[in-house]
Structure 1
Amino acid sequence: MQQLHPFHLAIPVNSLEPSRTFYRETLGCEEGRSSDHWVDFNFFGHQLVLHVKESSEANSENSNPVDGKEVPIPHFGVVLSMEQFETLGNTLKEKGITFIIEPYIRFQGKTGEQATMFFKDPSGNALEFKAFKNRNQLFAS
């Protein structure tokens, strides 16, 4: 399998403090550099930067049907190990996170079988966390 490299992603947030608390305390991400208008996080080995958005426009509520569920678009997230996925899912349930799509197994018994869950951060950004039964099938068709 080809070595994967960390990505950099910048996302808009409505307010820095509730978002900072969510990513640090709910998701357990380590905080890095920051200013009054942005903050960096170690997002499972990737750089995530939260930027306060100046506009009051609401996030779009678009979705696509996948496996009988409405998957929000846009969304972002990471691929975890099954153990990390299960631990995070249990932690989020304990913390009362409202799921868009509760943790479940998608494409069961097929190529690309994976566990997945969707939820939103305090600014309405949709996040997906997933774990593959066989990580070598990450890019399988």
Structure 2
Amino acid sequence: MSLSPFHLAIPVYDLPAARHFYGEVFGLKEGRSDTQWVDFDFFGHQLVIHEHGKTADQEHARANPVDGHDVPVPHFGIVLNWEQWEALAARLKSFGTKFVIEPYIRFQGQVGEQATMFFLDPCGNALEFKAFKDMSQLFAK
């Protein structure tokens, strides 16, 4: 499957802290930038952090119950391969990242077996990263 890169722009109320998180903690390569925004290579996609006042979602976290966890809404992320996901989980843990939902395996031994984790950037934007044991089951029921 060949996908076109997506472009996602998100608000951050502390540009230096967000720049450090995405660049240093997350390890993303920085692209173009200006005084109020920074581009990052987000696993081949374009993520732009824009300096902006706190949004309602950042101020008052919302969640939906999923598998006994409170999943933050909205959230975004990437589906990685299993090894990339494990490496990212280890990297985030090594930087002391506080997880909203600790890395764990869903549907173990079933169709759609997947690894997932949720965490927040320094400005309260929620991220989820997944990996599937069998990527062909990404949309399997």
TM-score interval for Structure 1 and Structure 2 normalised by the shorter chain: over 0.9
Gap runs ≥5 in structure 2: none
- For 1:53-68, list aligned pairs within 5 A: 53-54=52-53, 57=56, 59=58, 60-68=60-68
2:130 maps to a residue whose letter is: K
Aligned to 2:87: 87
Give TM-score, length-normalised by structure 1: 0.93
Give the 3-state SS of the residue equivalent to 2:78 in structure 1.
strand
CA distance in 2, matches of 1:115, 1:48: 23
Give the 3-state SS of the residue equivalent to 2:111 in structure 1.
coil
Aligned to 1:18: 17
CA distance in 2, matches of 1:58, 1:134: 33
CA distance in 1, matches of 2:53, 2:94: 33
1:134 equivalent in alignment to 2:134 = yes
Aligned to 1:47: 46
2:42 maps to a residue whose letter is: F
Query: Aligned residue pairs: how many?
Result: 140
Give TM-score, length-normalised by structure 2: 0.93
Aligned to 1:122: 122
Aligned to 1:112: 112
Query: How far off is 1:54 after superposition?
Result: 3.6
Query: How far off is 1:55 after superposition?
Result: 5.0
Query: How far off is 1:119 after superposition?
Result: 0.5
1:40 maps to a residue whose letter is: D
Q: What is the RMSD computed on CA atoms of the aligned residues?
A: 1.3
Query: How far off is 1:138 after superposition?
Result: 1.1
Runs of 4+ with deviation above 3 angstroms: 54-58
